Structure formats: structure tokens, C-alpha cells
């Protein structure tokens, strides 16, 4: 089966070298296997910056990443997310949750609770208490998945087979914003994605997403969670680390073509352009450790 790969940036600012390298790897994985490549702008949350998406797309083009079909904008797909939640709710797989972040953080510090996971308080609320909360709570409830499992296995090209925790994660936030995990699964399915190559900071989200995909009856994807680019101190690269975007690097005298060569070298390719790198591309040759920059 020829893969369909994707890149799904959040438009919170310009892409930095870590994002560009991930985009490049995702593109090379799909295109080197003769596959399609699609793009999605994950512009649902409050960190989205006007104009950032356009600059991100232009930077992708500048390094040689192209894509098939129209770009999918998450902010235009609220009905699709709502429909998925309604379908799950009809099957009794959704419940309302009034817990605050603080309550959840305090509870998840308890022994035997995986960090950050939801302990399920609101799943057991009785009808009378729910009526009271609906009438009197300071804000509307978020909607959570009533998960039937505690863990789920995913296949990852870099990390092998991995089982990770699955909790009753949020599907719709209290203000109606679709949660990241829901939107990713609904959209990967809508775009026909079969291969998800992304930063390994999202490896722990994969079991939740794969489980949700199984509930929604959408095909399983193949994952490759690739190492991040880190700064001299070993932390994930960020804007504050200096010249790390294409625009900053160009100002500092490194043209986009040179950036592409450096990034390709960092994944074991001696090619000068992404197209040239296609024939001999092998994800297995990319280092499994984070790439240090600066």
C-alpha cells in the first residue's frame, strides 16, 4: 500500500529547525515510497497567530516540501468534530466533566496515577449531582471519553511496538473547542492519512489517538516519532535559542538551500535538495538521538 503522509503544524509562530526537520522527514518517508503527502493547519487553539500559517506554508515550500490537494484548516471543521463526539455520545462513550485543572493536577499526584492522567471523578456522578452541576457550576462541562481500556499498543517505526496509558481524555473543552487528540484522529481519517511522522514529544499521545481511532472505526495509522532538535543545553529548540527560523538564519547569512543541506546531513543524506534525497532515503539511517543545534 502506498502511504499517505502528512505534516500538521500549529500556527503559533514561525517554524524552527526542529519543525522543519520533522516536516522534511515526514515528506521523505511518504514521497520516497511513492506516496501522497497532505498538509493540515492545526489552528484551533488560542496560541494561533494571524499570518503565522501563511509564513509556515511559505517556509515549507522554500525547503522543497510540497503537498497534494488543498490544505485542511482545523478551524473550519467544527461540525466534523462535533459529529464524531455525537456519534460516541450515542454509544454511551462520552461524559460531562466539571473538574478544574487544579483538582486534576492534585489528584494525579496521588500514588499509582500516571502523571497528568484523569482519575475519572465525574464518570461516576449520579443524576441528581449532575443536574445540580449543570445548573450551578461556574462554567459548562468539558466532554470526556469513557475509555474502556487503561493502555493501548501502537506500532512505531522508530520506537517499535509500544503500549502507553489511555485515560478518559477530553474530547471537547468546556468552551466547545475540540481537543487536540480528537481533531487529529478525525482529520487524519478525513485526509486518508496512513503514516504519521512527527516529533517524539507526541509519542505519549499516540496510544490515546490510536484507541480513539479504533472506537471511531477509522483505519490504524503507522507511526514514526522522530527525535527533536535540542539546544546546547539539551532542551527542545525554541525561538529564544537565537537564529532558528529560516528568516533568522537567512539574516544571519545561512540561505535556505544551506539549511536544507544541513538538515539532510543530519538524517544521514548527502543530497543537496529534498528531491535528490528521495532515491536513497532510509529513515533507519536517521539518528535515534535528538539533534543538538548551536
Residues that bind ligand GLU (CB under 6 A): 8-10, 42, 184, 198, 202
User: 3-class secondary structure for 141-158?
Assistant: CEEEECCCCCEEEEEECC
The H or E element spanning position 258 is helix 256-266
Least CB distance to ligand GLU at residue 10 (A): 4
* DSSP annotation of 169: -
DSSP codes joined into one string, 155-175:
EETTTEEEEEE----EEE-TT
User: 25 vs 145, which CB is nearer to ligand GLU?
Assistant: 25
- HSE-up of residue 135 (Cα within 13 Å, Cβ side): 6
Residue 34 CA to residue 22 CA, distance in Å, equals 19
Least CB distance to ligand GLU at residue 198 (A): 4
User: 97 vs 213, which CB is nearer to ligand GLU?
Assistant: 213
Least CB distance to ligand GLU at residue 134 (A): 32
Residue 109 CA to residue 87 CA, distance in Å, equals 33
Least CB distance to ligand GLU at residue 72 (A): 12
User: 10 vs 195, which CB is nearer to ligand GLU?
Assistant: 10
User: 122 vs 197, which CB is nearer to ligand GLU?
Assistant: 197
Least CB distance to ligand GLU at residue 263 (A): 17
Residue 154: which of 144, 164, 145 has the closest Cα?
A: 164
Phi-psi region of 192 (alpha: psi -120 to 50; beta: other; left: phi over 0): left
Least CB distance to ligand GLU at residue 184 (A): 5
User: 45 vs 276, which CB is nearer to ligand GLU?
Assistant: 45
User: 51 vs 138, which CB is nearer to ligand GLU?
Assistant: 51
Amino acid at each position: 500500500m502506498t502511504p499517505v503522509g502528512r505534516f500538521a503544524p500549529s500556527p503559533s509562530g514561525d517554524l524552527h529547525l526542529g519543525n522543519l526537520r520533522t516536516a522534511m522527514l515526514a515528506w521523505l518517508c511518504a514521497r520516497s515510497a511513492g506516496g501522497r503527502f497532505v498538509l493540515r493547519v492545526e489552528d484551533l487553539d488560542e496560541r494561533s497567530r494571524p499570518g503565522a500559517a501563511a509564513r509556515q506554508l511559505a517556509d515549507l515550500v522554500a525547503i522543497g516540501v510540497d503537498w497534494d490537494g488543498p490544505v485542511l484548516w482545523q478551524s473550519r471543521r467544527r461540525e466534523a468534530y462535533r459529529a464524531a463526539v455525537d456519534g460516541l455520545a450515542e454509544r454511551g462513550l462520552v461524559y460531562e466533566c466539571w473538574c478544574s485543572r487544579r483538582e486534576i493536577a492534585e489528584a494525579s499526584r496521588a500514588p499509582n496515577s500516571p502523571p497528568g492522567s484523569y482519575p475519572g471523578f465525574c464518570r461516576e456522578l449520579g443524576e441528581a449531582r449532575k443536574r445540580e452541576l449543570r445548573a450551578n457550576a461556574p462554567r459548562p462541562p468539558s466532554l470526556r471519553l469513557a475509555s474502556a481500556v487503561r493502555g493501548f499498543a501502537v506500532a512505531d517505526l522508530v520506537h517499535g511496538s509500544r503500549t502507553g496509558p489511555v485515560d478518559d481524555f477530553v474530547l471537547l473543552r468546556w468552551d466547545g473547542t475540540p481537543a487536540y487528540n480528537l481533531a487529529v484522529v478525525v482529520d487524519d481519517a478525513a485526509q486518508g492519512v496512513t503514516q504519521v511522522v512527527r516529533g517524539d514529544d507526541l509519542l505519549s499521545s499516540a496510544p490515546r489517538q490510536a484507541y480513539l481511532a479504533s472506537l471511531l472505526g477509522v483505519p490504524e495509522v503507522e507511526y514514526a516519532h522522530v527525535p527533536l532538535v535540542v539546544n546546547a543545553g539539551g532542551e527542545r529548540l525554541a525561538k529564544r535559542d537565537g537564529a532558528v527560523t529560516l528568516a533568522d538564519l537567512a539574516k544571519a547569512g545561512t540561505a535556505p538551500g544551506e539549511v536544507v543541506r544541513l538538515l539532510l546531513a543530519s538524517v544521514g543524506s548527502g543530497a543537496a535538495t529534498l528531491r535528490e534525497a528521495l532515491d536513497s532515503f532510509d529513515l533507519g539511517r536517521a539518528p535515534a538521538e535528538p539533534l543538538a543545534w548551536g
